[in-house]
Structure 1
Amino acid sequence: MSSEQIQKHKKEGGKLQWFFFVIVIPLLFAITLALIVLTIAGYNVFQISEHIGSKIPVVSNFVGNDEEVLQEENTNLLATIEDQKEQIETLQLDIESKDEEIQELNEQIQQLQNQLEQNEQSQQERDELISNVTESFSQIKAEQAAQIIENLTDESALLILEKLPAEQRGAVLAAMDPEKAAELTQNFINPGE
């Protein structure tokens, strides 16, 4: 670089430095000092500048929208909260109805279990009674047993004949009226026909 270029470069640098030291720095100092004085005096400088800025056409796009956007977002969030509250209430009602349904079903299960236990007890008692009656029939003669069994219902007669040993069953059937013996034998072999 030649000395002329160096001199020219120093002059350009000097003008820029002069601009910062003489204009920019004092201006920034004056603005800062004014903001401090106005704030101490009780003025909200930022609110005033936002109010004035919202009236300027290009600047208003940057200044006033934040509050409107926040209000719109707040409204949307409140609506979402209300929707979710309604959904929660609906789900709680569903849960309550399902709980009631479960409780009713548990009660039905308990009733059915009680009935089953009663049926098992009555079946055991009935089986025990039939065993006792069968034991009694095995103690008497076949002719007397045949006369008694002929006068019973078919169901009762079949239950007793079923419990008797095969030899006694044959002797009782032989002592019965042949038609009644055939009918009982048929029902014994093919129940429900």
Structure 2
Amino acid sequence: MERMSEEQEKPKTSRFQWFIYAFLIPILFGITVALLVFTITGNNIFETAKEFSRKVPFIASVFDDTNSRSQEVMEEQLIGLQAEVKDREARISQLESELDSKELEIERAGLEKQRLEEEISELTAIKEENKRAFKDIVKTYENISAKKAAPILTEMKDEEAVKILSNVNSDTLAAIMEKMNPEDAARYTALLTAAKEKGGVSDN
């Protein structure tokens, strides 16, 4: 039995060896020689295979499908990149618009601040001028006679008269009060007392 199995295995082994020596090794040798020849002659074996495959309908269709798919992928990527670029350009435009708006707002605020400062300066100057003019008025009432000053003051509004009377010196005030009739003198005395208690009459 053992001899029969050995005899049956020998033909199988010899057939496999025959396949290797007669078919596989020559093919591998031929491929090696072909690659060597193509390399020496400067031909690109892959480009040649590609040209050959184009002549064979089935292989050419496989290459065409691969190329078309890769081209579709590249076009999709290109469209995606273009959309991203447009989005970023739109965002940049929006930020530039916001920046211009902020700069305009800052410029307007600066102009408004400058206008207010100028207005404050003008009002301050007017106030100082009015203060000097009021001091001149007070000095005038201190220099004229009490007999002339008393009737002028009684013709004024009480607020204006009290303001002047509260700023003249005490001697002038006493002299003017003496030249007023008792009713006016009593009224101005009460008004002056109330104004001093509030502390809001003096222009100094």
Alpha-carbon separation, structure 2, partners of 1:167 and 1:24: 137
Structure 1 contact 174–181 (Cα < 8 Å) conserved: no
- 2:144 corresponds in structure 1 to 140
Say which structure, 1 or 2, has more relative contact order (CA 8 Å, 6+ apart).
2
Residue in structure 2 matching 1:179, options 167, 170, 187: 187
Structure 1 contact 53–63 (Cα < 8 Å) conserved: no
Alpha-carbon separation, structure 1, partners of 2:187 and 2:52: 120
How far does residue 27 in structure 1 lie from its aligned partner after superposition?
1.0
Q: Work out the percentage of aligned pairs sharing the same amino acid.
A: 20
Q: Which residue identity is paired with 1:111?
A: R
TM-score (norm 1): 0.65
Alpha-carbon separation, structure 2, partners of 1:44 and 1:162: 114
- Quickly say closer, same or farther: Cα 1:112–1:157, change in 2 above 3 A: same
Superposed CA RMSD: 3.9
- 2:132 corresponds in structure 1 to 128
- Quickly say closer, same or farther: Cα 1:76–1:150, change in 2 above 3 A: same
Residue in structure 1 matching 2:85, options 59, 78, 81: 81
Q: Which residue identity is paired with 2:191?
A: E
Alpha-carbon separation, structure 2, partners of 1:93 and 1:74: 28
Aligned length: 171
The correspondence of residues 1-193 of structure 1 with structure 2, limited to 5 A, is 23-24=27-28, 26-31=30-35, 33-34=37-38, 44-45=47-48, 48=51, 55-56=61-62, 65-173=69-177, 175-176=179-180, 177=184, 178-190=186-198, 191=200
Farther off after superposition, 111-120 or 160-169: 160-169
- Quickly say closer, same or farther: Cα 1:94–1:167, change in 2 above 3 A: same
How far does residue 26 in structure 1 lie from its aligned partner after superposition?
4.2
Render the CA deviation track for 1:56-81: whole Å, top value 9, x for unaligned.
4xx99987654433322221111010
- Quickly say closer, same or farther: Cα 1:24–1:121, change in 2 above 3 A: same
Structure 2 contact 166–192 (Cα < 8 Å) conserved: no
- Structure 1 residues without counterparts, runs of 5 or longer: 1-14
- Structure 2 residues without counterparts, runs of 5 or longer: 1-19
User: Could you say what secondary structure the match of 1:88 adopts?
Assistant: helix
Structure 1 contact 54–63 (Cα < 8 Å) conserved: no
Alpha-carbon separation, structure 1, partners of 2:47 and 2:161: 110
Render the CA deviation track for 1:135-154: whole Å, top value 9, x for unaligned.
12222333433322222233
TM-score (norm 2): 0.62
